[in-house]
Each structure stands twice: as C-alpha cells, then as structure tokens.
Amino acid sequence: ETGVTQTPRHLVMGMTNKKSLKCEQHLGHNAMYWYKQSAKKPLELMFVYSLEERVENNSVPSRFSPECPNSSHLFLHLHTLQPEDSALYLCASRLGGYTGELFFGEGSRLTVL
C-alpha cells in the first residue's frame, strides 16, 4: 500500500466510448503524474501537475485529457481511443514538485477493442 489509489484497476472499452481513470492520494504531495507503460518500453510521461502548473508531453494525443481539480485527485479522461492505446496507465505522486521519492498507484490496465 503506497497511499496512491487508482480506479478502476481494469477497463475494457470500445473505440467510441468515453471513460475516465481516477487517481487519489492523501499523502500531502503537490505533484501528480500520469504515465503510460507499454510492453518492452520505458515508462512514458503523459502529464504532470505540479504546484498547480500542468506540464504535458507534446506527443500525447488529444484523445487523452487530464484533469486535476485539487492536489489530491487526478483524472485521465479517455475519448475515442485506438487499440494501440491499450496499456497500463500508472499514476504517481511526490512531495517536492520535481524532486523527492516517488509513490505509484497499482495502475489501471486499459484494453481498447
């Protein structure tokens, strides 16, 4: 138990669906991250929210949309995804903005049919 909770753990969706992934931490951290993990590849940063500033990887398609309503909650909204978007999506947080120990959630395994 790392203190970072992700829901759902598994999600299967069609290409026309709209769904959301949720991440929650009550560790008092002020930076939260979304990562994509595909087979045989390093973790790929999608979005960072740090001290209310959003940083994004410009290669992330617009069908992925993050939302960070407060410092404890992070969402990833999914819309008209493609089969190649099937992957493990990991949320992480840490205390010091861009420094400090990393705390990861268990991940959300997404399958796009």
Partner 1 sequence: KNEVEQSPQNLTAQEGEFITINCSYSVGISALHWLQQHPGGGIVSLFMLSSGKKKHGRLIATINIQEKHSSLHITASHPRDSAVYICAVDTDKLIFGTGTRLQVFP
Residues that bind partner 1 (CB under 8 A): 2, 33, 40-43, 45, 88, 90, 92, 98-107, 109
Whether residue 84 contacts residue 53, with contact meaning beta carbons closer than 8 Å, is answered with no
Residue with smaller CB distance to partner 1, 42 or 69:
42
Residue with smaller CB distance to partner 1, 15 or 51:
51
Q: How far is the CB of 16 from partner 1 (least distance, A)?
A: 26
- In eight-state DSSP terms, residue 100 is S
Residue with smaller CB distance to partner 1, 61 or 97:
97
Q: How far is the CB of 88 from partner 1 (least distance, A)?
A: 5
Q: How far is the CB of 107 from partner 1 (least distance, A)?
A: 4
Residue with smaller CB distance to partner 1, 2 or 111:
2
List the structure tokens of 16: 């026309």
Q: Name the strands in the sheet holding 73-79, side by side, starting at the edge strand that comes first in the sequence.
A: 4-7, 18-25, 73-79, 64-70
Distance CA 65, CA 73 (A): 14
Q: How far is the CB of 28 from partner 1 (least distance, A)?
A: 16
